[in-house]
Amino acid sequence: MKGYEVFKTDATNGSFEYWATSVLDMTLEACAFHALDAWQVEVYHRGLKQFTGIERGQFRLEISQHNHIGLAIRAFVRLEAHRLHTGTSWFQSKTQIIREAVRAYLAQPLLTSGSTV
């Protein structure tokens, strides 16, 4: 490809990837540094999809799609903050949050919409 530098990375398991850049003087070390950044983006997307259900929203209106995506990203950021604060995994953090919410509800259930005080 004219005007691009192409790198091939080999993994220990035999797989490989090609990376292309328009920065012609990029070193292999710089390419490896950027590959780590790209991997972190992949990890973020996997976590976002796995723990928020972002892809399961079935909406026709654009505003509904935007709201769902925005709230899913917000929920994931809160999950990530909890994970970093507690030093646990995403799965453990989500489980802790859900357990605490259920515990709080069972301790003082909300009144149903049809009941009176």
Query: Cα–Cα distance between 7 and 34 in angstroms, integer?
Result: 12
Identify the CA nearest to 47 among candidates 78, 16, 85.
78
Instruction: Give the mean model confidence (pLDDT) for residues 66-72.
Output: 94
3-state secondary structure of 117: coil
Q: How far is CA 40 from CA 53, 62, 117, in A?
A: 19, 29, 51
Q: Enumerate long-range contacts of 74-79, CB under 8 Å, 24 or more apart.
A: 76/47, 76/48, 76/51, 76/52, 79/51, 79/52
pLDDT for 72 beyond 60:
yes
pLDDT of residue 115: 53
What's this model's pTM, rounded to 2 decimal places? 0.65
pLDDT of residue 109: 81
Instruction: Give the mean model confidence (pLDDT) for residues 63-82.
Output: 94
